[in-house]
Amino acid sequence: MCGTIILREEKSEMNKDQKVLYSGMQATGNLTLGNYLGALKNWVNLASEYECFYGVMDLHSLTVRQNPAEFRAHARELMMLYIAAGIDPEKNCLYLQSSVPAHAELAWILDCFTYMGELQRMTQFKDKSARHSDNINAGLFTYPVLMAADILLYQTDVVPVGVDQLQHLEITRDIAQRFNSIYGDVFTIPEPYIGKVGAKIMSLQDPAKKMSKSDENPNASIFLMDDPDTIRRKCKRAITDSEATIAYRDEQPGLKNLFDIYCACVSKTPDEAVAEFAGCGYGQVKEAVGEAVVSVLKPLQDRVKELQKDKSYIDNVIKTNAERAYYCANKTLRKVKKKVGLTEIR
Ligand code: TYM
């Protein structure tokens, strides 16, 4: 293991002039098209410009009760999805958050630099506690601090996320600035990266709501592993409006969302999409959106199925990348501990 760590260390030293990108997703099943278009797709597009770390955020997922066997399987599946989407585990660090104890350790230290009032203002905390009123645990409340620890441990410059994570990025920056103002420049202050299209994909059944893996209506979300017919059917059933006008505007949120999905899948601008469908009915738009989504998701699904056959390959990715993440994270953690006055025993 030591040998590998030294090798990884050399790689990190080599890349020290390169900016760092960090992102991740909760390790739950049923990822949606929103997760893909709002985050994963941008990760792939940005990967060559940065030194990248992508976490499978299994500690965050513990705020909701998990079935242990299913949970372990979901974490592996998410790792496969990252790879299937085009993230090369040789060039980027894909790892399980729980395999690097520094995340939980830094989160505790940062908890002590975060105010209750700040956490009480988090809209995701308010939404989630309203939805899970039987399990409003302390982890749900301090969730943004763990996320701040994830990001700050790697001296991150940029964090590609969907719009719903912006508030968590703001609190991360606030915590980092507060810490730096006391102890000097310990943390890099990260910037969010929001894609031009797809940053907020809405429910197909209620375009006022975000497309979400926990939506009770299965027709509201396209799941990444939905088969092509299911994808086409869900697009066909998407809620639009009675205006019968092809336009990209807030007053027609259902159609706007379909255009957002289409544009993100085929790399067009909304103006180009509106021009393409001028004079068409909504049925034709829905059909084209269905085909565009299938053409993006089918190759991804095929690659996941291939990866599922190779257990030892994923095991190896999990192990070797954990070592690299461990090394980088601990470099920052050691600095933080020294700054706050914790005793280091070597
Ligand atoms: P999570 O797992 O809810 O979502 C993962 C990513 O998908 C984006 N996303 C969407 N984008 C557009 N439209 C949607 N409907 C949609 N739904 C989800 C999210 O914005 C996110 O980028 N707290 C994070 C996970 C996390 C993290 C981190 C992210 C933990 N630590 C550090 C970045 C950096 C979360 O719950 O994402």
Give the per-residue SS3 of 118-141: HHHCCHHHHHHHHHCCCCCCHHHH
Q: What's the fold here for domain 2-198+311-340?
A: Rossmann fold (3.40.50)
φ/ψ of 53, rounded to 5, equals -125, 125
Domain ranges of the chain: 2-198+311-340, 228-305
Per-residue pLDDT, 304: 96
Residue of minimum CA distance from atom 25 in ligand 1? 25
Per-residue pLDDT, 4: 35
Domain 228-305 has CATH 1.10.240.10: yes
Name the token pair of 134: 């039987």
Per-residue pLDDT, 15: 53
- CB count within 10 Å of CB 320 equals 18
pLDDT tens, 91-117? 999 999 999 999 999 999 999 999 999
Catalytic residue among 210, 234, 256, 286: 210
Q: Tell me which residues have their CB closer than 6 angstroms to ligand 1.
A: 22-26, 34-35, 38-39, 57, 60, 147, 150-151, 159, 161-162, 164-165, 168, 199-201, 210-211
Catalytic residue among 11, 19, 200, 213: 213
* Residue 339 a catalytic site member: no
What SS3 string covers 73-106?
HHHHHHHHHHHHCCCCCCCCEEEEHHHCCHHHHH
Catalytic residue among 128, 234, 256, 286: 128
pLDDT tens across the length of the chain (346 residues): 333 333 334 444 445 579 999 999 999 989 999 999 999 999 999 999 999 999 999 999 999 999 999 999 999 999 999 999 999 999 999 999 999 999 999 999 999 999 999 999 999 999 999 988 999 999 999 999 999 999 999 999 999 999 999 999 999 999 999 999 999 999 999 999 999 889 999 999 999 999 999 899 999 999 999 999 999 999 999 999 999 999 999 999 999 999 999 999 999 999 999 999 999 999 999 999 999 999 999 999 999 999 999 999 999 999 999 999 999 999 999 999 999 999 987 6
Probe target for ligand 1 pocket from 21, 35, 40, 50, with the most ligand atoms within 8 Å of CB = 35
Long-range Cβ contacts of 274-278 (<8 Å, 24+ apart) = 274/246, 274/247, 274/248, 277/246, 278/246
Query: What's the 196 CA to ligand 1 centre distance in angstroms?
Result: 16
Selection from 251, 249, 236 nearest residue 282 by Cα = 236
Amino acid at position 198, single letter: G
Provide, rounded to the nearest whole percent, the portion of the chain with pLDDT above 90: 91
pLDDT tens, 326-344? 999 999 999 999 999 999 8
Per-residue pLDDT, 16: 59
Whose tokens are 């869900």? That residue is 234
* Residue 309 a catalytic site member: no
Specify the ligand 1 atom closest to the Cα of 162: 20
DSSP label of 18: S
Per-residue pLDDT, 103: 98
Residue of minimum CA distance from atom 30 in ligand 1? 147
Probe target for ligand 1 pocket from 20, 21, 23, 25, with the most ligand atoms within 8 Å of CB = 25
Per-residue pLDDT, 5: 35
What is the value of pTM for the model shown?
0.93
Given a contact cutoff of 8 angstroms between Cβ atoms, the answer to whether 307 and 83 are in contact is: yes
